[in-house]
Amino acid sequence: MATKPTLKSAISHIEDAGILLVYPIHNRKEPESLWSRFYPKTKMRWEWDSDGDNRVANLWILREELSRSRKVVYSKWFQGRATFFSRSVFTSLLRLKGQEPVLSRQAQEILHLLQDDSPLSTKEIKLATDLRGRSLESVYTKAMKELWSQFQIVGFGEKDDGAFPSLLAGATSVIFEDLWLEAQELSLLEAQKIIDKKIKSAPALLRFLNKKA
């Protein structure tokens, strides 16, 4: 039976899985998503108009609330998709992959900006780093992808920043300072044990993680 999405139940699902997408990719079973947890065996269709499936829009609204809850961590990680992590899994991944990031100059500039002032919207980041304009869009996108993939930034709420609300991004060390410090104290062995335990039955996630190694 489908469970009505709530903040509490969503957090419980994320903690249980370790990593969950918000929506399934082409309705595949892997990787698991909040949609598949709440609406098992139900195909998701992208319908955003007034006559569409309001469960899609409601889950997107819940995603924003979850990102601000501090109970879980929100990122654009798996194939650039909206992804939630339990705090323990994110801390372990940060220890394994994000303690000594290799970043381009543009990514470093964005990270330094966010370390001084977090969270910021896309428009604010582009303005402060002089990465505005269509010609620099690919540079900006590449730099942000570096930061997401190495767990240096997280999503934290939204801001009305034009025609549509813009995701706010913040430096992990600022938004989740406690997890940042915990990662520094966590041993590599313990971090790996946590990852192995949580996502050992999720081959798509494991392949993606190993590909990013």
Tell me which H or E stretch contains 56: helix 54-69
What's the sign of the alpha-carbon dihedral 123, 127, 131, 136? positive
Tens-digit pLDDT string for the chain (213 aa): 456 799 999 999 999 999 999 999 999 999 999 999 999 989 998 876 666 678 998 999 999 999 999 999 999 999 999 999 999 999 999 999 877 888 999 999 999 999 999 999 999 999 999 999 999 999 999 999 999 999 999 999 999 877 778 999 999 999 999 999 999 999 999 999 999 999 888 999 989 988 865
Residues 20 and 36 in one domain: yes
Sheet (strand 82-86) strand order: 19-21, 82-86, 72-76, 153-160, 165-171
Where in the sequence is the domain holding 125, given as residue range(s)?
Answer: 105-174
Tell me how many degrees the CA angle 161-163-166 measures, rounded to the nearest 5: 40
CATH number at residue 138: 1.10.10.10
CA distance 27 to 10: 19
Residues 91 and 193 in one domain: yes
Residues 93 and 194 in one domain: yes
The string over 139-162, giving b where at least 16 C-beta atoms fall within 10 Å of a residue's C-beta and e elsewhere, is bbeebbebbbbbbbbbbbbbeeee
Tell me which H or E stretch contains 98: none
Residue with token string 């946590």: 194
Residues 88 and 193 in one domain: yes
Residues 91 and 194 in one domain: yes
Residues 90 and 137 in one domain: no
CA distance 135 to 127: 14
Full-model pTM: 0.93
Residues 193 and 93 in one domain: yes
3-state secondary structure of 192: helix
The verdict on residue 92 lying in a domain is: yes
The verdict on residue 179 lying in a domain is: no
Residues 72 and 50 in one domain: yes
CA distance 164 to 95: 34
Residues 62 and 144 in one domain: no
Total domains in the chain come to 2
Strands 19-21 and 165-171: unpaired
Strands 153-160 and 165-171: antiparallel
The verdict on residue 125 lying in a domain is: yes
The verdict on residue 184 lying in a domain is: no
3-state secondary structure of 168: strand
The verdict on residue 180 lying in a domain is: no
The verdict on residue 195 lying in a domain is: yes
The verdict on residue 139 lying in a domain is: yes
Half-sphere exposure of 69 (CA within 13 A, CB side): 23
The verdict on residue 183 lying in a domain is: no
